[in-house]
Amino acid sequence: MSENRNTLSKQFLQFLPDNAVLTHNEDLHPYECDGLSAYRQVPLVVVIPETIEHIVRIVNICRKTNTPIVCRGAGTSVSGGALPLENGVLLSLAKFNRILNIDPVNRLACVQPGVRNLAISQATQSYGLYYAPDPSSQIACSIGGNVAENAGGVHCLKYGLTVHNILQLKIVTIEGELLTLGGSGLDGPGYDLLALLTGSEGMLGIIVEIVVKLLPVPECASVVLAAFDEIEHAGNAVTEIIASGIIPAGLEMMDRHATRAAEEYVHAGYPDNAAAILLCELDGIKEEVSAQISQVKDILLKHRAVQTRIAKDEVERQLLWAGRKGAFPAVVRLAPDYYCMDGTIPRRKLAFVLNRISELSEEYQLAIANVFHAGDGNLHPLILYDANKPGELHRSEELGGKILELCLEVGGTITGEHGVGVEKLNQMCVQFDTLELSQFHAIKHAFDPDELLNPGKAVPSLHRCAELGAMHVHEGKLPFPDIERF
């Protein structure tokens, strides 16, 4: 392995500075895992290019030497999507962090993949514009990673996921070619390869530029908080709000574990004794928002909300959302570790699924904090465990798999915005049959015939599915058996 490392690094150093080619263990270890993955692997080499020409040369070297490439943005992935390979190059896009152009007339911005999600809205604020998708990690996550995972966020219910908010991508293919997919219009001729690349988890090409849509900042936005004594009542309220024809900008739910942790962390003014809280934001013109807030409040009370409160001003509105967006780091206070799941279900099944998750929590003797985008049925159960206790990580993985399969049983899917990575490969075998998986592999082969771009992620091999059947990752069938777990 050291020989391969030396050979590759010498070739990279012909056009990259010394500090852009990392080969020493102390330099490689910071890249060994992504945001919340329970697995780690030190890469063979890390390269940090600054130009598209650098990326093309890196790709050509890797193709000629048959070396796998894993692209990494901010490293906030929560499914192992940016997990390195022991025999592969990790290509960091950290220096691709410039906003190249803002077009306020056409409401577009051209950005590099390393630009932080929140930075786009900050840069366009003076034009009265913003970028709508807002993952909880938006202060840190990069827009390239958002495209790779088709990220959503609090406001995706009304404004859509990443795929609905981008118009064009420039990618470097495994052959070292620069392609432009999409355009400045709302539609274009040919196959919709832009949508195909969105959510492809770095398996089809390396994203080097993105044109995003910008929206006008709403004239008015207001948030109502509701507390419930029973989580089923909160779930039923969500169903009726959507059924009434109202489309909130955001409709979020947290259970007691998550609410208490977020309140201790952010001090947002959440009630600490509620079984669940809902945050419902309405935006638009003032008259419309006022009427909808009143209608939503009536629905919440009808479904036995024990407390409702409308944010009195913009400061309080931002504070209420800060608690929700800080829920993931806040939950760290509840246990040494947590395993983050991500599945989507039909809204009408919300109460049933939450009850079943509670039963599974008791069965596995592991607490679960529920934080999720209730409006679109995107669940984020956080399974609390202690990796220092023998068997707890294994039980957490098994419990996580059960939750994802529960989502499938009620007509949902195993991901809403976090992707598949390495952690959900077994559940892909449950959701898709052999013919469907074969089509995924055919698409991968068309873009990357030698499987050098992020291999082993997102789409399981047919052999794996045939071998595993209903088995789970925790039984030792990880795609990379040598990966060390925390």
What confidence tens digit (pLDDT) does each residue in 35-48 have?
767 788 999 999 99
Q: What is the pLDDT of residue 110?
A: 98
pLDDT band at 439 (very low <50, low <70, confident <90, very high): very high
Crossing angle of helices 2-12/52-65, nearest 10°? Answer: 140
Residues in contact with 121: Cβ distance below 8 Å, sequence separation at least 6, in sequence order: 130, 131
Radius of gyration (Cα) for the chain, nearest Å? 22
What stretch of H or E contains 124?
A: helix 117-124
Q: What is the pLDDT of residue 39?
A: 85
Name the percent of the chain lying above pLDDT 70.
96
Q: What is the pLDDT of residue 125?
A: 97
**Helix%, strand%, coil% for the chain, nearest 5:** 40, 20, 40
Residues in contact with 89: Cβ distance below 8 Å, sequence separation at least 6, in sequence order: 8, 43, 44, 45, 46, 47, 58, 62, 67, 68, 69, 70
- CA distances 121 to 107, 216, 219, 292, 320, Å, are 12, 11, 16, 26, 19
pLDDT band at 1 (very low <50, low <70, confident <90, very high): low
**DSSP string across 269-282:** ---SS-SEEEEEEE
Angstrom distance (rounded) from CA 194 to CA 199: 10
Q: What is the pLDDT of residue 4?
A: 87
Strands 276-284 and 250-255: antiparallel
Crossing angle of helices 314-325/256-266, nearest 10°? Answer: 120
Q: Higher confidence at residue 232 or residue 23?
A: 23
Query: Do 28 and 43 touch, CB atoms closer than 8 A?
Result: yes
Q: Token pair of 131, please?
A: 């970028």
CA 243 to chain centre: 27
Q: What is the pLDDT of residue 147?
A: 97
pLDDT band at 485 (very low <50, low <70, confident <90, very high): very low
Mean pLDDT of 58-80: 95
Q: Where are the alpha helices (DSSP H) in 365-419?
A: 392-409
Residues in contact with 212: Cβ distance below 8 Å, sequence separation at least 6, in sequence order: 108, 109, 111, 120, 131, 143, 165, 166, 167
Name the percent of the chain lying above pLDDT 90.
83
Angstrom distance (rounded) from CA 271 to CA 256: 9
**DSSP string across 175-236:** TS-EEEEE-SSS--SS--HHHHHTT-TTSS-EEEEEEEE-EEPPSEEEEEEEEESSHHHHHH
Angstrom distance (rounded) from CA 299 to CA 317: 20
Q: Which tens digits make up the pLDDT trace of 278-332?
A: 999 999 999 999 999 999 999 999 999 999 999 999 999 999 999 998 998 899 8
Q: Which tens digits make up the pLDDT trace of 128-187?
A: 999 999 998 899 999 999 999 999 988 999 999 999 999 999 999 999 999 999 987 777
Angstrom distance (rounded) from CA 104 to CA 126: 10
Amino acid letter, 161: L
Q: What is the pLDDT of residue 364?
A: 96
Q: What is the pLDDT of residue 363?
A: 96
Domains of the chain: 2-92 (3.30.43.10), 99-216 (3.30.465.10), 220-330 (3.30.70.2190), 334-485 (3.30.70.2740)
In this predicted structure, which of 49-53, 86-90, 349-353 has the lowest mean pLDDT?
349-353
pLDDT(486) > 70: no
Question: Any idea what the Cα angle at residue 401 is, between residues 399 and 403, rounded to 5°?
Answer: 70
Q: Which tens digits make up the pLDDT trace of 247-266?
A: 999 999 999 999 999 999 99
Query: Do 417 and 161 touch, CB atoms closer than 8 A?
Result: yes
pLDDT(483) > 90: no
pLDDT band at 238 (very low <50, low <70, confident <90, very high): very high
pLDDT(209) > 50: yes
Q: What is the pLDDT of residue 34?
A: 84
Amino acid letter, 329: P
